[in-house]
């Protein structure tokens, strides 16, 4: 292979590597926390995971039913306890049904940071359609900054589906919010769970979206399992 061809190969490999580095690698992001979760008594400590968002992480299924134990934060708890039997872990759910990220940001310090979380999960995009991309970005950035300033790990979630929005269309308002959240995760080098892509890919593969939904805008148990399983990629 001549020098010119070698240069082309080097450029292509470099480009691929840079793209793969855009998102924080899941296997490394919670490395220190996972190590602590393996510690046995008396060396272990309590790990706090805070889920901050709207009705979906709050556990609303078919409103007004709140199915707490079948929501993704508690599926995560079950899987963590199976994988890390020595850990003491708290799932702290500060989510409020109907809330958007601006409201969530206003109580971020008093109701989220007060718990001294090890990891904060933020899930507001579904309701942020009402305030628009610019205002949502501002609120998400404030919460990210507040957490990172205290050396807290952050994992952002793109929206779960709304059946009034065609999930097979890649140019909807939910796609725009998802894209903005992905960019925030790259910019601040924080974790990402691309919930919207999970549901979109399953739908494009031939699965009926209704099989993952309890009502028009709330996942059912199957949908929550999808989200929880993706979150658990960070704890492997």
| pLDDT tens by residue, the chain, 236 residues | 444 433 333 333 343 333 444 677 898 999 999 999 999 999 999 999 999 999 999 999 999 999 999 999 999 999 999 999 999 999 999 999 999 999 999 999 999 999 999 999 999 999 999 999 999 999 999 999 999 999 999 999 999 999 999 999 999 999 999 999 999 999 999 999 999 999 999 999 999 999 999 999 999 999 999 999 999 999 99
Q: What is the CA radius of gyration of the chain?
A: 19
- The pLDDT assigned to 22 comes to 64
Q: Which domains does the chain have, with CATH numbers?
A: 26-235 (3.40.50.1110)
Distances (CA, A) of 183 to 39, 198, 200: 35, 17, 19
**H helices of 96-172, where?**
101-106, 108-111, 125-128, 132-148
- The pLDDT assigned to 11 comes to 34
- pTM exceeds 0.85: yes
């Amino acid at each position: 292979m001549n020098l010119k061809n070698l240069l082309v190969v080097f450029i292509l490999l470099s480009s691929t590597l840079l793209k793969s580095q855009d998102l924080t690698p899941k296997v490394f992001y919670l490395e220190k926390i996972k190590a602590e979760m393996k510690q046995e008594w008396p060396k272990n400590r309590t790990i706090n995971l805070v889920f901050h968002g709207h009705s979906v992480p709050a556990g609303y299924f078919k409103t007004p039913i709140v199915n707490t134990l079948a929501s993704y934060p508690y599926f995560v708890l079950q899987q963590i306890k199976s994988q890390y039997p020595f850990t003491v872990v708290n799932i702290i759910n500060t989510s409020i049904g109907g809330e958007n990220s601006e409201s969530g940001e206003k109580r971020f310090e008093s109701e989220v940071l007060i718990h001294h979380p090890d990891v904060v999960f933020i899930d507001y995009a579904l309701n942020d359609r009402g305030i628009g991309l610019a205002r949502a970005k501002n609120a998400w950035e404030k919460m990210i900054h507040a957490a990172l300033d205290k050396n807290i790990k952050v994992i952002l979630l793109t929206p779960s589906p709304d059946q009034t929005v065609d999930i097979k269309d890649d140019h909807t308002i939910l796609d725009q919010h998802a894209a903005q959240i992905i960019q925030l995760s790259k910019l601040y080098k924080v974790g990402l769970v691309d919930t919207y892509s999970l549901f979109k890919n399953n739908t494009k593969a031939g699965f009926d979206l209704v099989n993952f939904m309890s009502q028009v805008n709330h996942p059912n148990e199957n949908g929550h399992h999808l989200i929880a399983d993706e979150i658990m990629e960070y704890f492997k």
